[in-house]
Amino acid sequence: MKPITKKHKIKKIPSPALSRLCKIYSLAEELEDKGEISISSKDIGKRLGVGSHNIRKDVSYIGETGTSGSGYDIKKLKAHIEEVLGLKKERNACIIGLGSLGVVIMNYQKDLLPSLIIVAGFDSNVNKLETIKISIPVYPTYEITEVVKRENIELAVITEPDRNIEKISERLMQGGIKGIINFTPVILNPGPGSVYVRNIDIVSEFRYLSALFTLSEKE
Amino acid sequence: MKPITKKHKIKKIPSPALSRLCKIYSLAEELEDKGEISISSKDIGKRLGVGSHNIRKDVSYIGETGTSGSGYDIKKLKAHIEEVLGLKKERNACIIGLGSLGVVIMNYQKDLLPSLIIVAGFDSNVNKLETIKISIPVYPTYEITEVVKRENIELAVITEPDRNIEKISERLMQGGIKGIINFTPVILNPGPGSVYVRNIDIVSEFRYLSALFTLSEKE
DNA sequence: TTAAACATGTGATTTTTTTCACAGATATTG
DNA sequence: CAATATCTGTGAAAAAAATCACATGTTTAA
């Protein structure tokens, strides 16, 4: 074991590993709720659909926590991931597009992700907001830059296709946004700036599976 | 160029490439709607956030279609991806959990994914269905196995957390399901069978971004 | 028609990620 | 307390994926 200093030096965490760590965290939450005490890398791997080696390596990126012979203490593992990745840090967010998916996201946030504070909504058609019950201030999309700056918004969630999504992403960047989660089929070009974009294209996911079926049938 | 036979032999397409091909297809749809005629690998790459080499390699997996000097003919590219991946093939699907996310998915399907035929819905609380307008037959979850078999359902979309999600996935497998898209934070274990599972964990996606922020701040 | 500017397709190379293998540590059992 | 079984952490090896480099082909424009 190398680390001399108290805190393990976190090098670069490969993004697949980081992504899995977030999932391990979710799993730890689930298991904690069920009252479980510990879990082995093998069992974690089984749940995530990857090998145990993989899990151990992932955990090693954030410094050692496991115990030989009995696996990982769930509480400790969860706390460690939480601390290193800063998952409890509160972040202001906004939702762009207040249709049904927007509302779903807002509910997710409330129940499962209390560290995400949704402080604003945007919609090109502000009148739409009367059709849904919304408890956050809603603005027209042309005010994005201003509101993002003022409210210190770090993360934007785009939930509705929009003619001028390019314009929207431009305004977000001008407001100094740090990350965008895009549920729109239109793929966002992050550009050379330092904005992290995560495209979650539901349609493409369906197609991916459909394609897998097709390819496996061709044999 | 190797292929002697008329049809290009499709080897194994790496899954990142397959995933991108689905996105390229979405992009092609978008561009076609806009009336564009052709696009270069460089521009596709810019939109997907990857290098042009990457795109060319992806396209090469399904056989060559591009034209040096002027890029890819959008119509042709789209048609080719569609054919090789079988994206127009109709597939029966079901939705498990008829909450708001379920309804969102159903709308997606109607508008953007006509090849996906949703033939059944399941919910452990069948009475819930009165709260939403639904135009498909709804069954209690204990009938999953039977209905999946009878209706020839290939794909299941799980949209709601449920105490006994393990039971549900078991029943799906028994019914002979081919693929599952799981929007639930509970990660499904595909098991050793031949069922493709795609976990889309929205909460983890948020955490991933939040973690990226944290790590980039620590410098 | 020639030259310059663009693009593609792909073998080779590099980088990234996963998997392996095993030493060292802990638990368990009789 | 030994002997056995179970786990972790990690350097090394293997596999997978991205990137490069360049030969080859197309377009444009003078």
Q: How far is the CA of A17 from the C1' of D14 (A)?
A: 19
Question: Which of A46, A116, A165, A204 best probes binding to B when mutated, by most B CB atoms within 10 angstroms?
Answer: A204
Enumerate the residues of chain A whose CB falls inside 8 A of the CB of residue B213.
86, 89, 91, 154, 178-179, 196
pLDDT, one tens digit per residue, over B85-115 is 999 999 999 999 988 888 888 877 777 888 9
pLDDT range class, residue A191, cuts 50, 70, 90 = low
Tell me how many degrees the CA angle B1-B2-B3 measures, rounded to the nearest 5: 110
Say what the pLDDT of residue A142 is: 94
Name the residue among B89, B181, B217 with its Cβ closest to that of A205: B181
Check if residue B92 sits with its Cβ under 7 angstroms from strand C. Answer: no
Residue whose token pair is 């696996």: A71
Q: Worst-scoring range by mean pLDDT, A131-145, B153-167, B171-185?
A: A131-145
Report in angstroms the alpha-carbon separations of B102 from A3, A136, A160, A172: 48, 24, 16, 29
pLDDT range class, residue A101, cuts 50, 70, 90 = confident
Q: How far apart are the first and last CA of chain A?
A: 49
Distance CA B55, CA B105 (A): 29
Say what the pLDDT of residue A122 is: 93
- Locate the DSSP E strands across chain A: 38-39, 72-73, 91-96, 116-122, 138-139, 155-158, 179-182, 196-199
Average pLDDT over residues A133-146: 89
Q: How far is CA A195 from the centre of its chain?
A: 14
Contacts 24+ apart (CB under 8 A), A162-166: A162/A96, A162/A97, A162/A124
Examine domains A15-85 and A91-204 and report if their fold is the same.
Answer: no
Average pLDDT over residues A198-217: 93
Q: Give the CATH number of domain B15-85.
A: 1.10.10.10
Average pLDDT, chain A: 87
Q: What is the H or E stretch that residue B59 is in?
A: helix B52-61
Q: Which of A167, A129, A32, A211 is nearest to B196 (CA)?
A: A211
pLDDT, one tens digit per residue, over A80-95 is 999 999 999 999 999 9
Average pLDDT over residues B167-192: 87
How is chain B split into domains, by residue range?
15-85, 91-204
Looking at chain A, the whole-number percentage of residues with pLDDT higher than 70 is: 89
Q: How far is the CA of A125 from the C1' of D24 (A)?
A: 52
| Burial (Cβ within 10 Å: 0-12, 13-18, ≥19) of residue A139 | middle
Tell me how many degrees the CA angle A195-A183-A211 measures, rounded to the nearest 5: 115
On strand C, nucleotides with any atom < 7 Å from a protein CB are 5-11, 16-21, 24-28
Instruction: Give A209's Cβ-side CA count (13 Å radius).
Output: 29
By C-alpha distance, the chain A residue nearest B9 is A218
Say what the pLDDT of residue B4 is: 28
pTM surpassing 0.75?
yes
pLDDT range class, residue B116, cuts 50, 70, 90 = very high
Average pLDDT over residues A139-155: 97
Distance CA B102, CA B161 (A): 12
CATH architecture for the domain at A91-204 = 3-Layer(aba) Sandwich (3.40)
Check if residue B56 sits with its Cβ under 7 angstroms from strand C. Answer: yes
Tokens read off for A124: 């090109």
Q: How far is CA B219 from the centre of its chain?
A: 37
Average pLDDT over residues B115-124: 93
Decide if B66 contacts B41 (C-beta within 8 A). Answer: yes
Say what the pLDDT of residue B133 is: 65
Distance CA A25, CA A44 (A): 11
Q: Worst-scoring range by mean pLDDT, A122-131, B44-53, B180-189, B209-218?
A: A122-131
pLDDT at B50 over 50: yes
Average pLDDT over residues A182-193: 76
Average pLDDT over residues B118-138: 78
By C-alpha distance, the chain B residue nearest A17 is B208
Enumerate the residues of chain B whose CB falls inside 8 A of the CB of residue A101.
101, 104
pLDDT range class, residue A218, cuts 50, 70, 90 = confident
pLDDT at A24 over 50: yes
Enumerate the residues of chain B whose CB falls inside 8 A of the CB of residue A26.
185, 187, 201, 203-204, 207
Distance CA B48, CA A103 (A): 27
Enumerate the residues of chain B whose CB falls inside 8 A of the CB of residue A107.
100
Distance CA A195, CA A177 (A): 7
Name the residue among B10, B108, B204 with its Cβ closest to that of A26: B204
Inter-chain CB proximity A103 and B100 less than 8 Å: yes
pLDDT, one tens digit per residue, over B31-41 is 999 999 999 99
Say what the pLDDT of residue B192 is: 61
Distance CA A136, CA A134 (A): 6
pLDDT at B10 over 80: no
